[in-house]
Amino acid sequence: MSRVYAKGSLCARLTASARPRAAIAPSWLARPRSAFSTTATRPLMELTGFTEEQLTVRDAISAICAKFPNTYWQERDQLEKDPKEFHAALAKDGWLGIALPEELGGAGLGISEATMMMQTISQSGAGMAGAQAIHANVYATQPLAKFGTKDQLEGTIPKIIDGTWRTCFGVTEPNTGLETLKLKTLAKKSADQSSYSITGQKIWITCAEVASKMILLARTTPIEEVKKSTQGLSIFCIDLDRSQPGLDMRKIKKMGGRAVAANEVFFDNYQIPADTRIGEEGEGFRIILHGMNAERCLLAGEALGLGYAALERAASYASERVVFGRPIGQNQGIAHPLADAYMRLEAAKLATYHAARLYDATKTDDSIPLHSVGVACNSAKYLAAEAAFTACERAVLSHGGMGYAMEYDVERYLRECLVPRIAPVSREMILNYVSEKVLQLPRSY
């Protein structure tokens, strides 16, 4: 069912002016053909069942991504150089506000459409690096949009949408890892109640070194003073002011997604205004859950895109690489693993967009249990990450020795596909969650 958009909104303009989908060349078609590796003439993913909005988003994002060929991402990966031009291109057309309110300059769409956007970016050849360049701008702003004050929304969100400010998400800590309820970064309120002093450390903060804003989860009540572990945490939208005392960052050298930085962030009595807190003090964990389920969906979409991109490369290569007088794709030892990888991706696709629809439906349907949304979003992230890993590994193996060469891209995809398997929550913790919440087995952690 199509939505009715406010006049002048991003998607109203797109719907009115969108070219036919067949007229927009998917970005993976832009890659030059070579002797051993070519691209598919049509996308592998089955598009039946998607809404007009999702397909319009897919077309428009594909057109933007086509301006950033694989060579752009290869170079950014090798030089560890931030893809600021790509971020600017998406911001120019308003895409950073895809799931943010129209009255603040956003498109007013849902996580279903945002997931399609993130998948399209990843699938274009940008991979996880391209997706992560804007990832936090899409999901980390969800708690702010839902729980922020009028002043917070009007003073922050328009500048995030237009690209003036980039955003990062500060939750993970080196000594607590997945034990979010035990994080130690402390936000101590001043005697006059006008400010907080932040002390602590965050780790694996994507894009922190280029971000102007951080959505920060910190403890406002020491853990030994709370009755329940979910209490005593608060969420803030803070400036990352490098000129101010008490803030330091260090870059983490990493295996994949090198175009976007991952940082350790150190706070030492870093001062922030009290009005940067989002929602009530001590309610941060409840608020941040709103963003975590959205992130699961987006990450699942990114994983799918990476998997489909790798599989398209492999299928094209297998069709044209001739060994012993025949294309290697004629051999079932190549064809069957790739066909299996395709079916895994298609199954994970259904789980992913089911979870995104369920998440969006909770905005208007109070009868949907949050438990059901959590199970769906975590399951989607797990299945998409595993399907992507299978596709990326088999793509490298199908290329043989050339799968190890940078110019064929699949080695980059394989390095990057480990991200959705590990972050933001591990496979094992998702299995623990489903075991306990669905199967009602004894909790193991």
Q: What is the CATH number of the domain that holds 139?
A: 1.10.540.10
- Do β-strands 213-219 and 167-170 pair in parallel, antiparallel, or remain unpaired? parallel
Last residue of a domain, one of 283, 305, 338: 283
Q: What is the CATH number of the domain that holds 223?
A: 2.40.110.10
CB atoms within 10 A of CB 68: 21
Report the share of the chain in percent with pLDDT over 70: 91
In a domain, 413, yes or no: yes
Residue 331: both structure tokens together: 């051999």
Confidence check: pLDDT of 30 > 90: no
List the single range of 28-37, 144-153, 211-220, 244-253 with lowest mean pLDDT.
28-37
Q: What's residue 177's pLDDT?
A: 84
Residues 230 and 370 in one domain: no
Residues 135 and 172 in one domain: no
Q: What's residue 20's pLDDT?
A: 32
Residues 277 and 293 in one domain: no
Confidence check: pLDDT of 187 > 70: yes
Instruction: Write out pLDDT tens, residues 200-231.
Output: 999 999 999 999 999 999 999 999 999 998 99
Q: What's residue 283's pLDDT?
A: 95
Confidence check: pLDDT of 359 > 70: yes
Instruction: Write out pLDDT tens, residues 191-202.
Output: 999 999 999 999
Q: What's residue 197's pLDDT?
A: 98
Contacts 24+ apart (CB under 8 A), 286-292: 286/230, 287/143, 287/146, 287/147, 287/235, 288/143, 288/171, 288/217, 288/233, 288/235, 289/370, 290/142, 290/143, 290/146, 290/147, 291/139, 291/140, 291/142, 291/143, 291/169, 291/215, 292/424
Q: How confident is the model at residue 42 (pLDDT cuts 50, 70, 90)?
A: low
Average pLDDT for residues 83-99, to the nearest whole number? 96
Q: What's residue 178's pLDDT?
A: 86
Report the share of the chain in percent with pLDDT over 90: 86
Confidence check: pLDDT of 160 > 90: yes
Residues 350 and 417 in one domain: yes
Residues 313 and 366 in one domain: yes
Residues 120 and 226 in one domain: no
| 218 class by beta-carbon count within 10 Å (0-12 exposed, 13-18 middle, 19+ buried) | buried
Q: Look up the domain containing 343 and give its range.
A: 285-437
Q: Measured between alpha carbons, how far is 70 from 47 in angstroms, rounded to an integer?
A: 24
Residues 304 and 279 in one domain: no
Q: What is the CATH number of the domain that holds 403?
A: 1.20.140.10
The verdict on pTM exceeding 0.75 is yes
Q: What's residue 298's pLDDT?
A: 97
In a domain, 183, yes or no: yes
Confidence check: pLDDT of 151 > 50: yes
Mean pLDDT of the residues in the chain: 91
Q: How confident is the model at residue 291 (pLDDT cuts 50, 70, 90)?
A: confident
Residues 82 and 182 in one domain: no
**How many domains is the chain built from?**
3
Residues 249 and 313 in one domain: no
